[in-house]
Amino acid sequence: IMLFVMGRISPYEWTNPYPCIEEPETLENQFTLSNSLWFTIGSLMQQGTEIAPIAVSTRMVAGIWWFFTLIMVSSYTANLAAFLTVESMYQPIKNVKDLADQNTIKYGAKGGGSTLNFFRDSEDEIYRRMYNTMINTPGVLTKDNDEGVEKVKNSNYAFFMESTSIEYVTERNCDLTQVGDKLDNKGYGIAMRKNMTYRNALSTAVLKLQETG
pLDDT in tens, 162-171: 888 999 999 9
What is the percent of the chain with per-residue pLDDT over 70, rounded to a whole number? Answer: 87
Residue 205: per-residue pLDDT: 86
Q: Parse the chain into domains and list their residue ranges.
A: 2-89, 96-208
DSSP 158: E
* Measured distance CA(144)–CA(205) in Å, rounded: 29
Topology at the third CATH level for domain 96-208: D-Maltodextrin-Binding Protein; domain 2 (3.40.190)
pLDDT in tens, 15-64: 756 666 667 666 677 777 777 777 777 777 777 777 777 777 777 887 88
Residue 208: per-residue pLDDT: 85
Q: Say if residue 10's pLDDT is above 60.
A: yes
Model-level pTM?
Answer: 0.51
DSSP 85: H
**Residue predicted with more confidence, 67 or 213:** 67
**How far is C-alpha 201 from the geometric centre of its chain's CA atoms?**
51
* Measured distance CA(2)–CA(170) in Å, rounded: 58
**Which residues are paired to 15 by β-bridges?**
28
